[in-house]
Amino acid sequence: MADVCEIDSDSIDAVIFDLDGVITKTAAVHREAWTRLFNEYLQSRSETTGEEFRPFEATAYLEFVDGKPRYDGVASFLESRGIEVPWGTDDDSSDAETVCGLGNRKNGYFLETLESGGVEQYDAAVDFVRTLQANGIATALISSSRNVDEVLEAADLSDLFPVQVDGNVAAELGLRGKPDPAVFVEAASRFGVGAERAAVVEDAQSGVQAGRAGGFRVVLGVNRGDELQAAELGAAGATAVVESFAQVSVTKPSPAPRSSLPSALEELEQIRSRVAGHDLVVFLDYDGVLTPIVSHPDLAILSQDMRLVLQELVSVVPVAVVSGRDVNDVRSKVDVPGIYYAGSHGFDIIAPDGIPVHDDRLDAFHTYLDSLGRATRDLEQRLATVDGSQIERKKYAIAVHYRRVAESDYPIVEEAVRAVAPSVPDLRVTTGKKIFEFRPDFDWDKGRALQWLQGELDLHPPRVEPLYLGDDTTDEDAFRVIRNLGLGIVVGRDGEDSLARYALENTNEVRSFLASIAEANR
């Protein structure tokens, strides 16, 4: 059995995770609740009928209960012991000697332990989920449990998965439990993804069997140091069995030369066909997309024709402008109501009603203001004599522009930037088109901002098709995030290779493209 696994972002669009034992440390809590239930029941039955008391074993848990819906687990184990009881109904009392009654008693034991002890997360698993998301791979959660919301909230993970198919959803849709693959297939379908381009991550034998039965490309077994469990997962058909997500690698998508990308205008009918039947949401950069790149940021003025197109577009689909500019600057320059504005690469967001968006992650950026102030003053002093240089202080970033600097002075600008950087270690330096930028050294970029906005707007696959138009290296983070779940369109044929799917030549083509999208969605 292999002890490493690779998730290839060019061949896998979605990864479906089980909850207990994979994301949260609740498998032991479930096992404890099942053991308590069956040993109490078997002991009581022995005293009543005179049958020999045989306790509930670890092997029985793995074979008959682990990963299955609650009532199915009860029925499966009782059948293995030759015990027949009525099925009952979901609202049976926990004292009832029925499948449902016993299942409800087990659930009570589980919740009792959950409330008293809380829930821990597997940090490496959560980091792995976020790595997948950052590389444009969709992630979903499945569970046979009907307590998923309570578990995620207790583990402070309520916002980790955009799609969840739990025991409640399965009951509503009439989906059979594991080892039937129905819940995995349903989760993948919510991203518009087939099993052949999806992976399953499971710690239960029944879950691995379900993944194999569903034809999923990769079925990853997670063993938490139990030799018996490892053997069961391998025997069930796992592609690989690992004990740590450090053994799982994610290959990043390969960018392509911009000159090789198909034209979004020439392929307009194909794009329209793809987004038909979906709720469209459009994300737009400002400089280089809505306006041409100019020598000075203040000269990048939105044309009236482009403004009219944006007004038409926002009347039919949600629109967000995600820019490196200060949020108030880009909002005043666009001046179109009804748009979400994300400034400083998504560090600062204003809702369509003009009210700044507050969030624990966004509010954390305030701690970087002192460092940004110190770096600004130092840069201004070092570049005061360099003609054409411009230091643009934004709320959460500093842009050092050198588009108008003589080429012979480029090294002076770079030397100043590299001299200042060590004095502000909580800031990172990034580059763009004739620009250096100091930003908070925080796990946030245009891709993260795009994901956050989709959550804020409640716009998730499969009903939603996101389009993102950008032109610079900072937009590649967004292209990566939506690569397999939407359409990235890069503006301009010159520049570094891109992860976008299509290209447009210039802002004139952007205007024509957006006008066509607005017309198609009226």
The H or E element spanning position 419 is helix 410-420
Report DSSP state, residue 296.
S
Q: Which strand ranges, in their side-by-side order, compose the sheet holding 435-440?
A: 390-393, 398-401, 435-440, 427-432
Question: Are the C-beta atoms of 286 and 495 separated by less than 8 Å?
Answer: no
Measured in whole angstroms, the distance separating CA 510 from the mean position of its chain's CA atoms is: 28
Measured CA to CA, the distance from residue 15 to residue 219 in angstroms comes to 10
DSSP 22-81: TTBTTHHHHHHHHHHHHHHHHHHHHHHH-PPP-PPPHHHIIIIITTS-HHHHHHHHHHHT
Q: Give the CA angle between residues 462, 463, 465 to the nearest 5°.
A: 85
Q: What is the Cβ-side half-sphere exposure of residue 285, based on CA atoms within 13 angstroms?
A: 30
User: CB–CB of 188/195 below 8 Å?
Assistant: yes
Q: 18, 92, 285, 477: which one is catalytic?
A: 285
**13 is a catalytic site residue:** no
User: What b-and-e string marks burial along 408-433, b requiring 16 or more CB atoms within 10 Å of the CB?
Assistant: ebeebbeebbeebeeebeebebbebb
Catalytic residue annotation: 285
